[in-house]
Amino acid sequence: MWEYAPAPESRDIANLKPNYRMFVDGKFVEGTGEPLKTINPGTEEVLAEVSTASTSDVDTAVKAARRAYDRVWSKMPGSERAKYIYRIARQIQERGRELAVLESLDNGKPIKESRDVDVPTAAAHFFYHAGWADKLGYAGYGPDPKPLGVAGQVIPWNFPLLMAAWKIAPALACGNTVVLKPAETTPLSALVLADIIQQCDLPPGVVNIIPGAGDVGATLVEHPDVNKVAFTGSTEVGKIIQRQLAGTSKKLTLELGGKAANIVFDDAPLDQAVEGIVNGIFFNQGHVCCAGSRLLVQESVADELLEKLHARVSTLRVGDPLDKNTDVGAINSREQLAKIKELTESGEAEGAQRWTSSCPLPDKGFYFAPTVFSNVSQAMRIAREEIFGPVLSVLTFRTPDEAVAKANNTPYGLSAGVWTEKGSRILWMAQRMRAGVVWSNTFNRFDPAAPFGGYQESGFGREGGRTGLEAYLDV
């Protein structure tokens, strides 16, 4: 047997500090909320103490953002704003390794993903939107579209840095200022991004980052001086925010949960479909709102595909997120792990057939072995509820119409995948999928030029591309 020796990235590269403070009005300041301890989900050790915002801190941050908006940022020519945004993008690249290691420590995702996906895509979002800053008149929203004002943004823990980039880059490019609240369990990379923003000499108050739990987010979105709210997270919280904002003039975009169908036809390139299924559900431990968590496979190839899938999933290496050879890292928190366990138990209780990889798991930390449920029916909880973990539900279909019906039979509608060698069928399916993103013969590919967003309970509004600018412009 050939065992790969451990190949861990050094944690020293993360430049981890014992304390992190919030970033308001261009300065790092102590928050007056109860400090929180952020832990490494891979080992359960405490990484750092982070000060959090109180209600009055939120108000200070929004006021700073308003001042920066009125006095500097909204008046600055787009070509000048672009220079700042380009600078941020380049700094993210410069400090890419530091950010990648920090992200893996705080979030639990494998270093190969933070290094090859999260950090480069975050930089790409700043580069892409920097390019728009002086061309907004050509974006299709009139000759001189205006910004909205102060954007209050709340982001989740699954892609801490990347979500911050998705939110901050278009807001700045369009001339808005930002108050952003990172997730309670993963505040660190956003605060390093704040350090980058400070070093890029962004005018004070243009970007403010205030860590804290859900109550800080609620205070932020409720603040009367916020003009625009952008939230990525659970459908449950999204609904609360929408209720809170009803009747106000605040513009809202929500990017919420999903239960995406990955549809494999019998003429699909099977080996690559297996890769796509694995990437669709085990990428980032399945903590992906657009994860392909429901596999719909045509009955005539179901057995062959499932056999190949089990063999492939058995080769996934689960373990230390900092090891360069780790494919699946740690579940982000104890709470999330408990939720995944509860839902998988319901799958077994409801009669689905469970298959779990026999890969070894570390003794400490939050880990869950990749799991595939077959004989799943649409009525089961594992086919309807978002698990947000490395758990795949396999369903079958007989005809293209049945595939469409089953794929769309969900209150969500964020993404879908279609696997077939037949080009006409890809287009036929894509027209019928009620999903914001339809991938064909690939899955979980992100590009700043491609708009991303959902239908129904997966939210509304788009992020990325020309379409994504609309959320930050007064149109």
**143 contact partners, CB below 8 Å, separation of at least 6:** 137
Least distance (Å) between residue 190 CB and another protein:
26
Nearer to another protein by Cβ, of 87 and 115: the residue is 115
Which residue of the set 184, 289, 457, 470 is catalytic?
289
**Is 174 one of the catalytic residues?**
no
Where b means 16+ CB within 10 Å and e means fewer, 412-429 reads bbbbbbbbbeeeebbeeb
CB atoms within 10 A of CB 97: 16
Packed helices 160-173 and 119-132: angle between N→C axes, nearest 10 degrees: 10
Separation of alpha carbons 147 and 224, rounded Å: 17
Evaluate whether 227 touches 382 at the Cβ level (below 8 Å). Answer: no
**Is 255 one of the catalytic residues?**
yes
CB atoms within 10 A of CB 364: 12
Least distance (Å) between residue 141 CB and another protein:
33
Least distance (Å) between residue 426 CB and another protein:
12
Least distance (Å) between residue 392 CB and another protein:
18
**176 contact partners, CB below 8 Å, separation of at least 6:** 69, 73, 74, 147, 148, 149, 150, 151, 227, 228, 472
Nearer to another protein by Cβ, of 112 and 223: the residue is 112
**Which token pair is 347?**
């799958």
Which residue of the set 255, 386, 457, 463 is catalytic?
255
Nearer to another protein by Cβ, of 69 and 443: the residue is 443
**Which token pair is 200?**
């890029």
Nearer to another protein by Cβ, of 322 and 376: the residue is 322
Least distance (Å) between residue 336 CB and another protein:
26
Least distance (Å) between residue 275 CB and another protein:
5
One-letter amino acid of 125:
H
Nearer to another protein by Cβ, of 192 and 301: the residue is 301
One-letter amino acid of 63:
K
Positions in the binding site for another protein (CB under 8 A): 1-7, 112, 116, 267-272, 275-276, 307, 315, 324-325, 421, 441-442
Nearer to another protein by Cβ, of 34 and 116: the residue is 116
Separation of alpha carbons 301 and 396, rounded Å: 10
Beta-strand ranges (E) seen in 293-358 are: 294-298, 353-356
Task: State the catalytic residues.
Answer: 255, 289
